[in-house]
A and B are shown apart, each in its own frame.
Chain A
């Protein structure tokens, strides 16, 4: 019955939807979209190329899926998950166990280590995107005008970052072929970990200064105002 209705909806040239396409291999096609898969006893295993549901106004293709010719397909091997978005749509996602592959995307918050500071910009290597550690680092760059939101022309790079600092930044563009362009022009972004000249981890004292607990010397940095609720402890356990 369903086959017929699809045939009526899509033209004959699209070989994908003719009867032949259904017959030989089990497509796990479950008819028009399942109302709520999360309620099912065992989550459904999806494989790349598996048709999940028709792509209409009610659904959005989320992570691990793509839409083509009016259907949503899985692009990963994993489990089907649905969620309701704010505008009342069903978001369909395929979730994979284990680590995800991420590359920095525009607007993502990244963690980076400063490698090189020059008067006009500083270079860094991106080591983390969101909460996911990267296996390989990506090159990033923070230009002088992207360090802070106000008084951009008075920024001095050497008073904002030093090599070795760990900064939180936002990706503003994919940049040129060399590196991603990052910005720290928000209160929550900037240096989060820095070592003083004496080799001790410094504590922030204001938005532009950090203090060495050993020598009591203050050093200039573009300090991030880290929100307590975003702090995450990892590693050595409890």
Chain B
């Protein structure tokens, strides 16, 4: 990636954003009728669909049953045309399996799992177009889908990535910034209580810089939360307006 300047002299990033600026977020709850809950989110050019089914009786092998809480079952898949180079398989590769596990961990922390013992909740995430921050968009979409499905949760889960480029922390990194070899810090938080439920760092970052990058990522989560929150409130208000007319 020689010659590629991630941060211009004027302090702007490749796509013209300021270091602490998020990409445009557009989202919608309840895009499908068939699923119990569904949501679609666009963060810049990253587009993700999520569907939630359940809680229902455990499907498949009954040995997975948990007697004191609900089983959160996730599946992360990417459309074969979602990436720059065509993917051979939509799921089942190491990266998607890892992502599935991460999603499972994240949502186990946020869902009130003890309310539905011996049942199962399915969270299916489908990345339609990927431009960096797939995990973050997936988490945000799944949160909206869970809210749409009415699954009791402690709080929203919002995820955001951040990086560190030429002495400046940058938030919500896109594919170019992600693949330039710099540090990448991915955080999922419960934004209201500022609890971190997922944290992952790739590549090298000096310990002294961890603080500012982490703070920026957490701030990013809060900003994303504000957007999602508005979308949920609009959706609830709209749903009721519709039902009261009937």
Contacts and interface: CB of A to CB of B under 8 A. Distances in A.
B236 to A, nearest CB: 5
Q: Which of A75, A77, A138 has the most CB of B within 10 A?
A: A77
Nearest to B228: A47
Contacts of B67: 174, 177
B221 to A, nearest CB: 10
B225 A139 contact: no
Interface string A92-104: 0000111011010
A68 B110 CA distance: 13
Interface centre among B118, B152, B219, B240 (most CB of A within 10 A): B152
Interface stretch (A3-11, A19-27, A213-221): A19-27
Contacts of B117: 103, 174
B112 A16 contact: no
A45 B155 contact: no
Interface residues of B, number: 41
A204 interface: no
Contacts of B235: 77
B194 interface: yes
A184 to B, nearest CB: 21
Given A76-B150, A177-B62, A101 B156 contact: no
B197 interface: no
Contact of A27 (B55, B192, B194): B192
Contact of A135 (B56, B150, B190, B232): B56
B192 to A, nearest CB: 5
A49 B237 contact: no
B216 to A, nearest CB: 13
Nearest to B149: A101
A78 interface: yes
A27 B226 CA distance: 10
Contacts of B62: 177-178
Given A48-B155, A66-B152, A73-B154, A16 B193 contact: yes
A77 B147 contact: yes
B222 interface: yes
Contact of A97 (B57, B156, B225, B240): B240
B36 interface: yes
Nearest to B148: A77
Given A75-B153, A77-B147, A174-B67, A45 B54 contact: no
Contact of B239 (A16, A73, A97): A97
Interface in B52-84: 54-57, 62, 65, 67
A75 B243 CA distance: 22
Contacts of B153: 48-49, 75-76
B229 interface: yes
Contacts of B236: 45, 47, 77-79, 97
B152 A103 contact: no
Interface string B154-182: 11100000000000000000000000000
B94 interface: no
B192 A138 contact: no
A138 B114 CA distance: 18
A118 B156 CA distance: 48
Interface in B116-172: 116-119, 147-156
B193 to A, nearest CB: 5
Given A49-B190, A137-B57, A103 B156 contact: no
B119 A103 contact: yes
Contacts of A177: 62, 65, 67, 118
A40 to B, nearest CB: 14
A190 interface: no
A96 B154 contact: no
A64 B153 CA distance: 9
Interface in A113-138: 135-138
Given A47-B229, A97-B236, A101-B116, 14 more contacts: A15-B194, A16-B192, A21-B194, A26-B229, A45-B236, A48-B147, A48-B154, A49-B190, A64-B152, A75-B152, A77-B147, A96-B150, A103-B117, A174-B67
Interface of A: 15-16, 20-21, 24-27, 45, 47-51, 64, 66, 68, 73, 75-79, 96-98, 100-101, 103, 135-139, 174, 177-178
16 contacts: A16-B192, A25-B225, A45-B236, A47-B156, A48-B154, A48-B156, A49-B156, A51-B192, A73-B154, A73-B155, A77-B147, A77-B232, A77-B235, A79-B236, A79-B240, A97-B236
